[in-house]
Amino acid sequence: MKRKYYPIYVVAFFLVVISAVSFRCYQVLEENRYRVTKPFLKPMPEVLVPKVETVREMARLERIMAELAKPTAEKEWPVNLVPFGYRPVGKNHGTSGKNNLPDLANHSLSMIFVGDHKGFCIIDGRFYPGGSELPDGSRIVMVKRDRVLLRKGHIKRWIMMKTLEESFKTQTDQAGEPLS
């Protein structure tokens, strides 16, 4: 075998390999030609478009949604909280005429709402979320089930929630006769 024929043998061998691979690819494609396969992409979900009235109502509510979701203490809410356990308590409850306690003790805690991540309370008859600042400059640090921690400067003080009996006693002492 002469060296001058090597390139011809290589090209012939290359063509045989290429034709064998092409023939096998053709066979595989013919086998899968009539097979039903799942598409690679999931079909688009059906999206329901809301009615025009619904979109308008959503736009109207969007303007006041921030105020509803995070109420501020400055706003007076015309809501009757008595069915939820609210008990109005007079200011400076628990003091016997003397005001020898810091300013933080002169707040009255009427109601506490505690959720998983956020707490709310009613102090001096006004609604405050946790972290709010009271008009006297003290800040609500923490809201627990039965008490609220206030901080003013470097002074921290717990305000305890009064029991129903204590609240009733305070109200009868202030009015002179039991409330009906």
Question: Is 43 inside any structural domain?
Answer: no
Question: Is 138 inside any structural domain?
Answer: yes
Q: How many domains does the chain have?
A: 1
Question: Is 61 inside any structural domain?
Answer: no
Query: What domain range is 133 assigned to?
Result: 82-175
What share of the chain has pLDDT > 90, as a percent?
A: 12
Which pTM value belongs to this model? Answer: 0.39
Question: Is 156 inside any structural domain?
Answer: yes
Closest residue by Cα to residue 119 from 79, 78, 159? 159
* pLDDT tens, position by position, 115-143: 878 888 888 888 898 899 998 888 999 99
* pLDDT tens, position by position, 4-55: 888 899 999 999 999 999 999 898 888 877 776 666 777 778 888 888 998 8
pLDDT greater than 70 at residue 88: no
pLDDT greater than 70 at residue 157: yes
Contacts by residues 78-86 (CB-CB < 8 Å, ≥ 24 positions apart): 81/111, 81/122, 84/111, 85/111, 86/110, 86/111, 86/122
Q: Higher model confidence: residue 110 or residue 77?
A: 110
The two three-digit tokens of residue 22, written as one number: 């092409």
The CATH number of the domain holding residue 148 is 2.30.30.830
